[in-house]
Amino acid sequence: MKTNDVILQTATKVVLFLIVLFSVYIFFAGHYTPGGGFVGGLLTSGAIILLLLAFDMKTVEKILPVNYMYMIAAGLLFAIGTGAGALLFNVPFLTHAFTDVDLPILGHLSLHTAALFDLGVFLVVVGVTMIIIKTIGEDD
């Protein structure tokens, strides 16, 4: 008998965006409230795993043609780069800097290089989780 996942797949299409939005919110909220790169990354990979459950591996690879190994390396480069940027200004490694910006639509923002470091963490977490799940999933 051919199974039909129409309910699961339709629900996934709606829920997926909620999870991704929530993970982005958690990621940006990290500085002032609980959250940050690690949970944000886990939530995002949770969303992708939901896609994997509802569809199959090939479809997901078509939707998200990402090499997760490069994603890990890119995340590490972000994190190291934020730290090593300090070397250019001859201050200790990982010294962060921030600035307050008033943007037309977004309003008053304080941009901090720690967010870039967190972006590195985010990418590494998503990459590592997806690599683990995909490698085990593809293994016969």
Partner 1 sequence: MINFLILPILIPLVTGVLLIFASKRIMLQRWIAGISSVIAIIFSALLVQKVRVSGIQTLDVSSWEAPFGITLVSDMMSALLVLTTSIIAFLCLIYSFWSIGEAREKFYYYAAFNFLIVGVNGAFTTGDIFNLFVFFEVMLMASYVLLVLGGKKAQLRESIKYILVNVISSALFVIAVAYLYSVVGTLNMAHISVRISEASQGNPPGIITVIAVLFLIVFGLKGAIFPLYFWMPGSYYAPPAPVLALFGALLTKVGVYSITRTYTLFFYHDIGFTHQLLSFLAIMSIIAGVIGAIAYWDIKKIIIYNIIIAVGVILFGVSAMTTDSLTGSIFYLIHDMIIKASLFLLAGIVIAITGTSNLHKISGLIKRYPGLGWTFFIAALALAGIPPLSGFVGKLLIVKGGFEAEHYWGAGIVLLSSLLVLFSIMKIFINGFWGTPRAYNEEDKVPVGKMLIAPVILVIIAVFYGAGSEFVYPYILQAAETLANPEIYIEAVLKEY
* Whole-number Å distance between alpha carbons of 72 and 87: 23
Cβ at position 76, least distance to partner 1 in Å = 5
Cβ at position 96, least distance to partner 1 in Å = 7
Q: Which of 11, 63, 64, 84 touches partner 1 (CB under 8 A)?
A: 84
Cβ at position 133, least distance to partner 1 in Å = 19
**Residues within window 90-119 making contact with partner 1, judged by CB under 8 A:** 90-96
Q: Which of 29, 49, 66, 76 touches partner 1 (CB under 8 A)?
A: 76
Single-letter amino acid code for the residue at 124: V
| DSSP character string of the chain | -----HHHHHHHHHHHHHHHHHHHHHHHHTTTSS--HHHHHHHHHHHHHHHHHHS-HHHHHHHS---HHHHHHHHHHHHHHHHHHHHHTTS-TT---EEEEEETTTEEEEEEHHHHHHHHHHHHHHHHHHHHHHHHHH--
Q: Nearest Cα to 98, choosing from 81, 80, 110?
A: 110
Cβ at position 97, least distance to partner 1 in Å = 10
Please tell me whether residue 11 binds partner 1 under the rule CB under 8 A: no
Q: Which of 29, 86, 116, 128 touches partner 1 (CB under 8 A)?
A: 86
Please tell me whether residue 69 binds partner 1 under the rule CB under 8 A: yes
Please tell me whether residue 34 binds partner 1 under the rule CB under 8 A: no
Binding site for partner 1 (CB under 8 A): 69-70, 72-73, 76-77, 80, 84, 86-87, 90-96
